[in-house]
Amino acid sequence: MSSTFLAWGILIFAGLLEIIWAIAMKYSEGFTRLIPSLLAVFFIALSIYLLSLATKQIPIGTAYAVWAGIGAVGVTVFGILIFNEPTSFIHIACLVLIVSGVVGLNLLST
């Protein structure tokens, strides 16, 4: 297994952790609830640490865009599913554009 392949796996995992910390932050109610606040801080730190590891093999611009894209799409989808946040065709179209950009960056950097 190549180190670049491993870096992409780490980056994807870091992006997934970004979803977890954002949801924990929502449940922290402005960092006024202890357990969700601690979870948010823990997963923020772990996500950023893993992002930093991935950037040893993946260009920073690509890594950051992919990390942020995974988080943005994931948090938006969870917001719609869990928190009943509004959605429309435009919301879905924008998510598709983000995913397309992330896939494009992945293909261009290999």
In the chain, the number of structural domains is: 1
Exposed, middle or buried by CB within 10 Å (0-12, 13-18, 19+), for 24?
buried
Whole-prediction pTM: 0.88
Per the structure, the complete domain to which residue 8 belongs is given by 3-108
Mind giving me the DSSP string for the chain? Answer: --HHHHHHHHHHHHHHHHHHHHHHHHHTTTTTSHHHHHHHHHHHHHHHHHHHHHTTTS-HHHHHHHHHHHHHHHHHHHHHHHS-----HHHHHHHHHHHHHHHHHHHHT-
Q: What is the mean pLDDT of residues 14-31?
A: 97
The model's pLDDT over 37-70, given as tens digits with 9 standing for 90+, comes to 999 999 999 999 999 999 999 999 899 999 999 9
